[in-house]
Amino acid sequence: MNRGEVLAKVQQRYLKEKVPQFDIGKYIKQLNPLAQIPNYRNDFLLIYRPESGKSRIVILEYDGFEYHFKDNHLVDETNFDKFYIEEDIERRKTIESYGYPFIRLNKFILRDDPIGFLNEKLEECCKKKL
């Protein structure tokens, strides 16, 4: 199942809108011209709009194995989180520091139950009190 199929299944329950290749860095700079953030682009910006309450924005990033891990020959499902490249770690921390929940996906996380994993993470993000 590819990332589009996974997102479509979860979208039925939670999402009202998804924006592919979203320029989160430019967006944050529009909201706060003093923001010190690079021009990051993320795979998806997800917007959840409950019937009552405030909308929630979640950043979704799918990391391809070839481009997001160092020492690929050493990486497996038990240690992948220790091999992310520094730029990806910094990117996530920076975006989260501006208040945007960040869900990182990769082939190891999605291997067994992609729908269940993404569903759980979106529930965590969307049910948090603001």
Residue with the larger pLDDT of the pair 83 and 11: 83
What's the gap between Cα 37 and its chain centre? Answer: 17
Domain that residue 122 falls in = 3-127
d(Cα 5, Cα 11) in Å, to the nearest integer? 10
At 63-77, the pLDDT tens digits run 776 667 778 778 777
- Amino acid 35: pLDDT: 92
- Amino acid 98: pLDDT: 92
pTM, two decimals, is 0.76
The tally of domains found in the chain comes to 1
